[in-house]
């Protein structure tokens, strides 16, 4: 497995929240999150399916409840293992998956659409874009 595509060790993943990392698609850098679920690991793009400018993990881990990711904006719930929204304004929508492989305790990015950049986020966020609090 290519060392440049290694994201993290499985044992680095937190139990009850997400692990943020940065990927590149062409010239654009994007965020993705790893989430451990019953020994399995999944990776999703780091945005809600309701408002795509809303990040699930804002840099200190996404909220989780009973194996589901919680969007802090309007409370949508997404199953950690399938990415399916089970409750909220985008019910039945599915998070964008990022392909990963676990090998010898390490997690590698294996998605042909992206390159691994770094752990955490290298993106500067305009906090004013998350100002609205109303439902739509």
To ligand FES, the closest distance from the beta carbon of 49 in angstroms equals: 7
Q: How many residues bind ligand FES (CB under 6 A)?
A: 10
- Give whole-number Cα distances, 59 to 94, 112, 117, 118, in Å: 22, 25, 16, 13
When binding is defined by CB under 6 A, the residue of 48, 62, 69, 100 that contacts ligand FES is 48
Q: Kindly give the residue spans of alpha helices, DSSP state H, lying in the chain.
A: none
Q: Beta partners for 40?
A: 37
By CB under 6 A, residue 71 contacts ligand FES? yes
To ligand FES, the closest distance from the beta carbon of 105 in angstroms equals: 33
By CB under 6 A, residue 6 contacts ligand FES? no
Sheet (strand 106-109) strand order: 6-9, 106-109, 100-103
Q: Beta partners for 77?
A: 70, 87
When binding is defined by CB under 6 A, the residue of 42, 45, 50, 55 that contacts ligand FES is 50
By CB under 6 A, residue 89 contacts ligand FES? yes
By CB under 6 A, residue 83 contacts ligand FES? no
Based on the number of CB atoms within 10 Å of its own CB, is 11 exposed (0-12), middle (13-18) or buried (19 or more)? exposed
Residues that bind ligand FES (CB under 6 A): 48, 50-51, 54, 71, 73-74, 76, 88-89
């Amino acid at each position: 497995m290519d060392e440049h595509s290694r994201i993290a060790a499985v044992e680095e993943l937190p139990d009850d929240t997400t692990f943020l990392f940065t990927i590149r698609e062409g010239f654009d850098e994007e965020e993705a999150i790893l989430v451990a679920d019953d020994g399995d690991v999944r990776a999703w793009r780091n945005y809600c399916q309701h408002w795509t400018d809303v990040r699930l993990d804002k840099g200190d881990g996404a909220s989780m409840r009973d194996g589901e990711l919680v969007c802090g904006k309007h409370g949508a719930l997404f199953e950690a293992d399938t990415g399916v929204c089970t409750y909220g304004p985008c019910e039945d929508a599915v998070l964008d998956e990022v392909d990963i492989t676990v090998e010898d305790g390490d997690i590698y990015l294996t998605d042909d659409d992206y390159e691994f950049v770094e752990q955490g986020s290298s993106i500067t966020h305009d906090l004013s874009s998350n100002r609205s609090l109303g439902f739509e």
